């Protein structure tokens, strides 16, 4: 049996399937059981600030340093493995430093440009009122 991609096919599928997990569907046995509903959230709803992201990044960098200190204290690690660990540490900490730097750059951009946008809108409103 072949179904074309029409609204009736979609309605038919909705009657038979329920969502049990993200991307996973099962056959509906109870007509009232609609399964799990997932809604999309936006950044405004979660209210994540750049300050929080910066704090989290600095804290993560500190945890990474602590972990490497612990790894460096471990015994019976070959010289070659120690050199590889130092290379990994250097690369990871360089990446974390770049992330922190870029986050602060975005914060500065926001301060410089979001204020300008607000000021320009205010000036435009004043000029229109004249």
Statement: residue 92 has pLDDT above 50: yes
Sorting pLDDT into bands at 50, 70 and 90, what band is 13?
low
Name the average pLDDT for the chain.
Answer: 76
Statement: residue 112 has pLDDT above 80: yes
Q: Which residue has the higher pLDDT, 12 or 67?
A: 67
Kindly report the pTM of this predicted structure: 0.53
pLDDT computed for residue 47 by the predictor: 74
Three-class HEC string of the chain: CCCCCCHHHHHHHHHHEEEEECCEEEECCCCCCCECCCCCCCHHHHCCCHHHHHHHHHHHHHHHHHHHHHHHCCCCCCHHHHHHHHHHHHHHHHHHHHHHHHHHHHHHHHHHHHHHHHHHHHHHHHHHHC
Statement: residue 54 has pLDDT above 50: yes
């Amino acid at each position: 049996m072949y179904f074309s991609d029409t609204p009736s096919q979609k309605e038919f599928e909705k009657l038979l399937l329920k969502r049990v997990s993200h991307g996973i569907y099962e056959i509906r046995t109870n007509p009232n059981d609609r399964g799990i509903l997932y809604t999309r959230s936006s950044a405004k709803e979660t209210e994540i600030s750049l300050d929080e992201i910066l704090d989290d990044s600095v804290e993560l960098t500190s945890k990474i340093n602590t972990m490497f200190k612990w790894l460096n204290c471990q015994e019976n690690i070959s010289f070659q493995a120690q050199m590889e660990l130092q290379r990994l540490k250097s690369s990871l900490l360089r990446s974390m430093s770049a992330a922190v730097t870029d986050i602060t750059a975005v914060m500065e951009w926001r301060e410089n440009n979001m204020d300008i946008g607000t000021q320009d809108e205010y000036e435009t409103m004043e000029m229109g009122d004249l």
